[in-house]
Structure 1
Amino acid sequence: MTAALTTEAGTDQLPEVADPINVTPRDARELTRHFLARLAELEEGTPEYQYARNTLIEMNISLVRYAAARFRSRGPAEMEDIVQVGVIGLIKAIDRFEVSREVEFTSFSIPYIVGEIKRFFRDTSWAVHVPRRLQEARVQLAHATEELSSRLGRTPTVSELSQLMSLSEEEVIEARVASNGYNSSSLDAAVSTGEDGEGVLADFIGTEDAALELVEDFHSLAPLIAELDERERLILHMRFVEECTQAEIGKRLGISQMHVSRLLNRLLARLRAALLTTG
């Protein structure tokens, strides 16, 4: 441990961290595991709970800055706002982390931090992210359309806009398409269906993604597979990744197809039982 840690007068079972923000990454990882485990045991609202939670936040600010670095092109003035928004994601990750899942906190928290930052951009700028060149082309397109409409007394064609903007017709069309991403409509927006009928936008777009329900299962399955021995993982990989037949697996491992079948059945039964227990 570094000098940032002291052993005097700390809270029960938790070391006192004199300067959490400046704890080294190595110490932060070790302390984070310890603090998260203790946090799960503490009663919310108690002084020790608040100490553990606040220390976790301060120790992991470096994670937020790391995640925010990918957005540095937006300028230093906005970077501080991005970091502050990222801290909200960090807090959500701390509150939702489950020690029993045996997942590294870094891997768990980064998606929360980045997701919160992206949500900030979504809510404060374009409804859909588009490249900066297309954002600039949209403004140019709006001015050109207004100028030509006033001059011609009608809506200008793509060719006419192309000449005024000094862009190819393909780029003008692309800018028009990108303009649709500036504002979004609510899925609950009313849509006329004709014959005095009315529905909502959600009824006409999108489909249910059946595979979405598997995301949580995959997340829970990963640490269970990691606990298997090398041969068991190889059998699963050959069967479900390489999509080998049981006969092909048996040939590669030097065992019978029946033996492969029994091994697979036992493996899948163990994983299924473990998933039901953790779920």
Structure 2
Amino acid sequence: MTAHTAQTAAAERAGAAGDLPWIEDAGQVAPRDARQLSKLFFDRLQLLDEGTPEHQYARNTLIEMNLSLVRFAAGRFRSRGGGDMEDIVQVGTIGLIKAIDRFDLAREVEFTSFAVPYIVGEIKRFFRDTTWSVHVPRRLQELRVDLARAKETLAVGLDRDPTVQELAAHLGLDEQEVTDGIVAANGYTAGSLDMPAEAGDPAGRATGGRTFADVLGEPDPAMETVENLHALAPLLEDLDARERRIIEMRFGQELTQAQIGDELGISQMHVSRLLSRTLRKLRAGMFTED
């Protein structure tokens, strides 16, 4: 590199950094130093316009400095199947980026406390969407783990596999819930849809019977909506009365913002701000619900 080229590169770096310190390799910053520098970069990031070199430098540096949070969170899933560590870190980085884009210093919380739920949530979503062969409700996915632990614990004392009644008593659940969990666990792995439903001959050859594909229906396209509504319900309960009323009028009664403003005696602009703030709160809750 010539002296002129080096000077040009240095000038470009200085321009991108603005009044922020230039960090050549942000990924090598120690976690303790990263926490202190992150406050400075977040404070400056809020004042920069998106798309500018300064904004891009601040945002990218924040991502690189806090990758240790992703590696820390990913380590908790090291022994879990369904993906190697590189995939898990990449997915966790998406959660880190979302946390950076949504963090506000006015929250008066440490960025680490704010970011880890986003990172873990993305990783859990990755396992939920890629590990299971059949998509089942989240509560049943979690119940499968509890059932596996309960079966192992009870089998040691009983010297046999526990019954549904014994599993229900051990977990404090209804027998129907346990049955649903056992059935849902069959969705963790799947056989070929081309496998005949009837048994083959002793040599293992198919006998020409109907395949599973012949007798199975199509997935219910509304399943995802139902799951999202179940996850959204407790978040709606946490809203105050005015926020719930605005949400109900906007999406339940399908009123316009102007009509809502007339109903509440406030301006349309005020309604727009309240609605935007409430929706951001709900979206953040949905992202960390996992």
Alignment of 1:73-152 (within 5 A): 73-74=79-80, 78-126=84-132, 127=136, 128-129=141-142, 130-131=144-145, 134=148
1:188 aligns with 2:214: no
- Are the counterparts in 1 of residues 38 and 62 from structure 2 also a CA contact under 8 Å? yes
CA contact (8 A) 2:41 2:62 kept: yes
Structure 1 residues 182 and 33, CA gap change in structure 2 (3 angstroms) = farther
2:178 is aligned with 1:178 = no
The CA deviation at 1:132 is 8.7
Distance (whole Å) between structure 2 residues aligned to residue 205 and residue 25 of structure 1: 38
* Structure with greater strand percent: 1
Length-normalised TM-score, structure 2: 0.49
Match of 1:22 in 2: 28
Q: Over residues 233-277 of structure 1, what are the superposed CA-to-partner deviations in whole Å (9 max), with x where a residue is unaligned? A: xxxxxxxxxxxxxxxxxxxxxxxxxxxxxxxxxxxxxxxxxxx9x
Aligned residues: 172
Asked whether the 8 Å contact 2:82–2:130 carries over to 1, the reply is: no
CA distance in 1, matches of 2:50, 2:231: 40
User: Contact 1:37/1:99 (CA < 8 Å) preserved in 2?
Assistant: yes
CA contact (8 A) 1:134 1:178 kept: no
Q: Which runs of 5+ in 2 are unaligned?
A: 1-9, 152-159, 168-174, 189-218, 244-273, 278-290
Map of 2:162 onto structure 1: 168
- TM-score normalized with structure 1 length: 0.51
Correspondent of 1:213 among 218, 239, 248: 239
Which structure would you say has the larger RCO, counting Cα contacts within 8 Å and 6 or more residues apart? 2
Question: Does the residue aligned with 1:122 lie in a helix, a strand or coil?
Answer: helix
CA distance in 2, matches of 1:112, 1:132: 24
Shift of the 76–178 alpha-carbon distance from structure 1 to 2, 3 Å rule, reads closer
Aligned to 1:152: none
Moved runs in structure 1, 4+ residues, more than 4 A?
Answer: 171-176, 181-187, 204-208
Structure 1 residue aligned with 2:77: 71
Partner of 2:3: none
